[in-house]
Amino acid sequence: MVEVVLLVEKPIVIIEHLEPCLSPWILSEYRFVSKLFGRNRLIFTNVRNLESRKVLSELGSVHPDKFINVFRSIVKKSIILDPQAKLPLKRIEMLEARAIVIGGIMGDYPPKGRTYKFITKEAMEMGALARNLGSEQLTIAGTAYIVKTIEEGSELSDIKIVKGLRIESEFGHGVKLELYLPYAFPLRNGKPVIPEDYIETILRKSTVFEQYLLSKLIECYPG
């Protein structure tokens, strides 16, 4: 086990990857986070698959092991963002942290508490803090945007969110699709903050990706 030592002023942003596959949907989220913080501040952990590591290396640093093993020396100075955490995140806490950890999870609805099960519980036992960003379930991109907004001077209470995003699309020949995402989205200038290709990815690419997996009976190993 190799531990990484950090020499940075601002807290790093760590995404603990917990999905079985690198779907187009989650890649859309990850690309958004990479653009938001820059490749030098974004680190992916728990990426076990070699091909997945190659893809994500274009967005940030990548490690196959879990966050608590790769960055053992700074776990006590880290904040795990977990919807189940009892206390909300305060700006002063984030500015004093060495790392902000986001669960790389495409959220279930209702939530199943996977962030706590796979990240928070063990990290807290090693001294990490757990904080929430409100009572609603956010996307990965939405979580990252709120973190960046707080870092730039806002408090959590200053950030407005909207619950639910309804997407409609016409596929031709009179076929229409309406999709409702029951998650919370931060607002910027009154509009939900989402990746540029988010709607297209969800409506078309992810649908095709899932059909491909089913048709080929591909077994997805941890990413």
pLDDT tens profile 121-172 = 999 999 999 999 998 999 999 999 999 999 999 999 999 999 999 887 776 6
**Measured at the alpha carbon of residue 151, what is the angle toward residues 62 and 15, in degrees to the nearest 5?**
20
Note whether residue 29 is domain-resident: yes
Note whether residue 189 is domain-resident: no
Domain count, the chain: 1
CATH of the domain at 77: 3.40.1280.30
Note whether residue 195 is domain-resident: no
Mean of the pLDDT values across residues 173-197? 88
Note whether residue 215 is domain-resident: no
Q: Specify whether the CB–CB gap between 223 and 49 falls below 8 A.
A: yes
Return the pLDDT at 218.
47
Q: Specify whether the CB–CB gap between 178 and 203 falls below 8 A.
A: no
Pick the range with the lowest mean pLDDT from 45-54, 100-109, 111-120, 141-150: 100-109
Mean of the pLDDT values across residues 178-187? 90
Cα 104 from Cα 29, distance rounded (Å)? 9
User: Which of 70, 62, 91 shows the shortest CA–CA distance to 79?
Assistant: 91
Note whether residue 214 is domain-resident: no
The label of the residue with tokens 């995140």 reads: 89
Mean of the pLDDT values across residues 92-98? 94
Note whether residue 217 is domain-resident: no
Percent of the chain residues past pLDDT 90, beyond the cut: 68
Note whether residue 166 is domain-resident: no
Note whether residue 133 is domain-resident: yes
Cα 117 from Cα 123, distance rounded (Å)? 10
Q: Which domain holds residue 32?
A: 12-158
Mean of the pLDDT values across residues 183-212? 83
